[in-house]
Structure 1
Amino acid sequence: MWLNKLEEKFGRYAIPNLPMIIVAMYAVGYVLRLMIPGIGSLLTLNPFLILHGQVWRIVTFLLMGPDSSLIFIIFVLLFYYSLASSLEQVWGSFRFNMYYFIGVFGTILGAFLTYAVLYFAYGEITAASVSMDTFYLNMTLFLAYAMMFPDMRVYFYMIFPIRVKWLAVLDGIYLAYVFLTSGFTAAGISVKVSIVVALLNFLLFFFSMKRIRSRGAAFARNTVNRRRKKEFKTKTVPRSGRKKNGAMHECAVCHRTELDDPTLEFRYCSKCDGDYEYCQDHLFTHKHVKK
C-alpha cells in the first residue's frame, strides 16, 4: 500500500500529537478575533490577496476555526481533539499527518484553481471573492472517525446517546445540502470546491486503509486504561526482557521505548512469527514478520 511505502521512508518526520497542535491553533485564532475585531479578514485563504503580497494567508487560514460563543467553542474544540486523537492513535501519527496535510494542500490548490478559472472566465473582480478554510476538512474528519468507530456513542446534550454512524449520515446530508444550495457565485463555487476537495481526501484514505478499518472496531472495543497498562507492563517483562537503555518495551519499527515517550502504548502482534513488539503508531500498520 502506498501509505506503507511512504511511512517507511518518511515516517520519522511525522509530527506527534498533531490534534493538540491543530486545536491550539484554532484557540489562538479565536482569541485573536476576540481581542482584535476584524482581524479574521486578514487571515483567510484568499488567492487574490496572496498574489498581491499578503502571503501570510497561505498559513494563517489554519487559525480560522469555529466562530461562536466561548462555551460552544470550548465544547467543539474538546470534541474535535477527542476524535482526532483517537484517529491518530489507531492510524498512527504519520497517517493522521498525511490525512490532514493532504487535505490542507488540497484546499490551497483548490482555492488557486478556482481563482484561476474564475479569473479567466469572469475577470479579476469576481475571482477576488474566492476564499476557503478548513471547515469542510474537519467535517470529513468526523466521517473518518465514524468509518473507524461506527458503533461508538456520543451523548447529545450530555443526555441522549447517539451512535456515531448516524451522526455521520447527518454530516453527509448536510454536506450534500450545502453543496447543492451554495449557488454559483464566487463564494458559492468556493464552498463547492472546498467540499469536493475534502471528500476526495476522505475517499482517498477510506479506500487505502481497509485493513486498518477492520481493526479499528476491535481497538474501540478494547480501549486501554491505566490499570491495564500497568498489568501489561508487569506481565511482559519476563517475555520481552530488557531493551535498549534498560527499557521494558521497544517498538520493532521505530525503536522508540517508554523512556522516549512515557505516553506510548506497546503491544505484541499475534500475526508476527516471534515476539515482536510495536508502539501504538505501528501496531496496525507494520508489515508482519514471517519466518
Structure 2
Amino acid sequence: MPLVCALALSPREMFGERAKPETKGNASAQKLLTMSWIDSTERRLGHLAIPHLLRYVALLNGLAFVLCQIKPGFEKMLEMDPTLVMQGQVWRLFSHVFVPSLGGVFPTWITAVFYLMFLVWLGDGLEQAMGVFRLNLYYLIGVIGTNVAAFLSGQSVGGFFLNNTLVFAFAAFYPELKVLFFFVIPVKIKWLAWLDAFLLVLSFLLSDWGYRAGVIAALTNFFVFFGPSWIQSRKRRKAQEERRSAYLESADGAETLHSCHLCGRTEVTAPEMEFRIARDGNEYCRAHLPGSGV
C-alpha cells in the first residue's frame, strides 16, 4: 500500500462508525453507480460476486506475510513474473496480489499490521460506496491490468499499482475523510491520493516506454470506472463557462439607454449608478457629472 508505512487511521475511523460516501464534491464518482454496462453485467453475473472481498485479500496477505517470515524468500513464489508464467507457473497471475507492499522506517511487523488494517478499511468503504459486485469488478479489472503491466514492462510490478487504484477510488468517494500521516498529522485522503498520483507521474516520466505502458495498463480499472464521468463533468463545466462568456459578451454589446460620456459606464455594466444630462448636452454617470462635487 503506498505510504502505508507512514499511515494510520484514527480509532474512530478504524473501529467506530463506518464512513459514508459524500454526496457533494464528488458527483463524478457517484455516477459510476448508474453506468449501464456495469448494471447489465451485474444482472448477469452479480450472483458470482464475493462479499467482503478485500477482507479475504487482507487475510491471505497476512498469511503470506507470516510464511515469508518463517521462510525468507517465499514471496518469490507468489510474485508476478511474466517469464515464469510463460513457463507454466500460471498461479502467479493471481498470487501476486497476496504479497504485502511493505517497507519504510517502521519495523516490518508494525507496517504489516497497519497495511492489513488499511486494506480492510479501504475495502469496507469502497464496498459500501460501490456495492459488492462493482468492487469485485473493479478489483478484477485491476488484477488483469496489473498482469498486462507486468508483461508490457517485462518486470514484476507487485500490488503497488493495484493498491494505488484502491486509494484513488476511495478518495473519489470520501475526499474529505482524514487519516493520520506518520501516525500524527491528520491529512485528508484526497491529498494522499494526489501525492500518490504525483509519484506515479514522476516515475512515468523518468522510466522507459515499457514501464510507461505498464503504468497505464495497471490503472485501467480506475480509467474505466471514473474516466467517462470525469470527461463528462469537464465537458459540462466547459459548456457552462462558454454560456457564461456568451452572456457577458451579449450584455456588453446590448443596446443601452444611458451611457456616461466620460467613463463609458451604462445601466447594464453599472446597474446601481444614476445618470444625468449635463448643461453641455452630454450624459454622465453621477460620479462624473460636472459640478456634482462627487
- Which of 109, 112, 115 is equivalent to 1:70? 109
Aligned residue in 2 for 1:179: 204
Q: Is the 1:111–1:131 Cα contact (8 Å) retained in structure 2?
A: yes
Over residues 57-114 of structure 1, what are the superposed CA-to-partner deviations in whole Å (9 max), with x where a residue is unaligned?
2232122122341001111221121122101111101000000001101222333345
Q: Report the AA paired with residue 38 of structure 2.
A: L
Question: Displacement, 1:133?
Answer: 1.8
| Deviations 1:149-188, CA, capped at 9 Å, x for gaps | 111111224432211221111111111112222446xxxx
1:205 paired with 2:225, answer yes
Match of 2:41 in 1: 6
Written as runs of structure 1 = structure 2, the 5 A alignment for 1:258-273 is none
Asked if residue 40 in structure 1 is aligned to residue 65 in structure 2, the reply is: no
Tell me how far apart the structure 2 counterparts of residues 7 and 102 of structure 1 sit (CA, whole Å). Answer: 14
Match of 2:134, as an amino acid? Answer: R
1:268 corresponds to: none
Identity %: 36
Deviations 1:178-218 (A, max 9, x none): 2222446xxxx34x3442123232121114678xxxxxxxx
**Matched residue of 2:219: which SS?**
helix
Aligned partner of 2:32 in structure 1 is none
1:182/1:31 CA distance change after superposition, 3 Å: farther
Alignment of 1:140-219 (within 5 A): 140-183=165-208, 189-190=210-211, 192-207=212-227
The separation in 2 between residues aligned to 1:98 and 1:209, in whole angstroms, is: 17
1:203 maps to a residue whose letter is F
Please show how residues 1-291 of structure 1 align to structure 2 within 5 Å. 1-68=36-103, 69-115=108-154, 130-183=155-208, 189-190=210-211, 192-207=212-227
Amino acid at match of 2:193: A
Gap change, CA 1:158 and 1:108, over 3 Å in 2: closer
Residue 276 of structure 1 corresponds to none
Q: Runs ≥4 in structure 1, deviation > 3 angstroms?
A: 112-115, 207-210
**What code does the residue aligned with 1:35 have?**
I
Letter in 1 for 2:181: F
**Higher mean C-alpha deviation, range 74-83 or range 51-60:** 51-60
Aligned equivalents of 1:113, 1:153: Cα separation in 2: 36
In structure 2, the CA distance between the partners of 1:114 and 1:77, relative to structure 1 (3 Å rule), is: same
Partner SS, residue 203 of structure 1: helix
Which protein has greater RCO, CA pairs closer than 8 Å, 6+ apart? 2
Counterpart AA for 2:140: F
Indicate the residue corresponding to 1:257 in structure 2.
none
Structure 1 unmatched ranges of 5 or more:
116-129, 211-291
Verify the 8 A CA contact 1:30 1:65 in the aligned structure 2.
yes
1:141 deviates by: 1.0
In 1: Cα distance, 2:164 partner to 2:68 partner: 22
State the 1:52 CA deviation: 1.7
Q: Is residue 136–residue 194 contact of structure 1 (8 Å, CA) maintained in 2? A: no
Q: How many residues align?
A: 192
Question: How far apart, in 2, do the equivalents of 1:209 and 1:79 lie?
Answer: 27
Cα deviation code 1:3-47 (max 9, x no counterpart): 111111111110010010111121122112111112222221112
